[in-house]
Amino acid sequence: MRIRAALALAAVAALAGCSGDVTPLPFTPDRPQAEATTPAPGGGKAAPACNPRASLRPAGSLPKPGNMPAGSYMATIQERGRLILGTSQDTLLFSSRNPFSGKIEGFDVDMGRQIAEAIFGDPDKIQIKVIGYDKRVSSAADGSVDIVADTMTANCERWADVNFSSIYYEAGQKVLVSKNSTAESIDDLGGKKVCSAAGSTSFENIGKVKTKPIAVARPAFGDCLVAFQRNEVDGISTDDTILAGMAAQDPYAKVIGKRFTEEPYAIAMNKTHPEFARFVNAVLERNRADGTWKKTYDKWLGDFGAAPPPPKAQYR
């Protein structure tokens, strides 16, 4: 236990020590240091039926970088001089702070950088704003960020508040436990404390497991890992990709079971700018076709095996 606690405290100290960013544009650490809560899962509002994977069809070919259509939201971003990306800083491989460079990087960050490159011709014209998992929808909806790319599942409830891009990654929920655990799936954790990030679909899904694990919320998955390393919870449940990053950080942890959900990741945007959603979808469409998606996968997730085909776009 002492070793696990030391690992956790070292991780927290490293994160706390990174107060700035060395990227050319500003970094804004807005995630609140909220105390842990344990709200009742599965209490979200009812959502209208929809196909959450179906987005807005691209409107023709992409404009040239630096020449965005007048009156479009892309022109507003171009005039501002930077794209504002909302994401996390502690989701290893998708959006986490590099302890050596201080930069936030990963698969999701590269999704944002590719959109910035399509607007400006320069992927570095991006401002990273760290947001809590429970602020992903509201940050896109209120326009405080241009896009949210943060291992975010597109679902019908969220579609009521934001526009989503086409799906750029397919994940599924599993569970992480101690290596000495005899559990083989989340069904074996009935009555045990299982952590997930507040405001995530993963947290809600824990409450739907028939054996009734006790859902414990933390502000972000990095906080769940600390709680696990301190033996405050028995497991962590979220998308398999996120858990793989956690297991890589903790030699005493393992990921178990088959996927028990489907988690299609998409980029969230404000609903008042449908032309921007169509533009983002055109960028994603181009990247599927020219090999950019595969190169991004190989860069961040190649250690888990050969890249699968990118998710096929579906449109309304």
pLDDT in tens, the chain (316 residues): 323 333 333 333 343 333 333 333 444 444 343 334 444 444 445 556 799 999 999 998 999 999 999 999 999 999 999 999 999 998 889 999 999 999 999 999 999 999 999 999 999 999 999 998 889 999 999 999 999 999 999 999 999 999 999 999 999 999 999 999 999 999 999 999 999 999 889 999 999 999 999 999 999 888 999 999 999 999 999 999 889 889 988 999 999 999 999 999 999 999 999 999 999 999 999 999 999 999 999 999 998 789 999 999 999 9
* DSSP-H helix ranges across 81-122: 107-120
β-bridge partners, 169: 265
Which of helix, strand or coil describes residue 21? coil
pTM value is 0.81
Q: Are 221 and 173 in contact (CB under 8 A)?
A: no
CA separation for the pair 296, 133 (Å, rounded): 23
Catalogue all structural domains in the chain, each as residue range(s) with its CATH number: 2-35+52-170+264-315 (3.40.190.10), 172-256 (3.40.190.10)
According to the model, what pLDDT value does residue 245 have? 86
158 phi, psi to nearest 5 deg: -70, -30
User: For the residues of 144-172, what is the DSSP string, one character each?
Assistant: SSSEE-SSPBP-HHHHTTSEE-S--EEE-
Strands (E), 135-262: 147-148, 163-164, 169-171, 173-178, 193-197, 214-218, 235-239, 253-256
Model pLDDT, residue 288: 98
Q: What integer pLDDT is reported at residue 48 of this predicted model?
A: 63
pLDDT attached to residue 47? 53
Listed in sequence order, the residues at least 6 apart from 109 whose beta carbon sits closer than 8 Å to its beta carbon are 85, 87, 94, 95, 128, 149
Cα(149)–Cα(107) distance, integer angstroms:
9
- What is the model's pLDDT at position 2? 29
pLDDT at 304: 79
List Cβ neighbours of 120 (8 Å cut-off, separation of 6 or more): 65, 66, 78, 83
Token digits of residue 3 = 């070793």
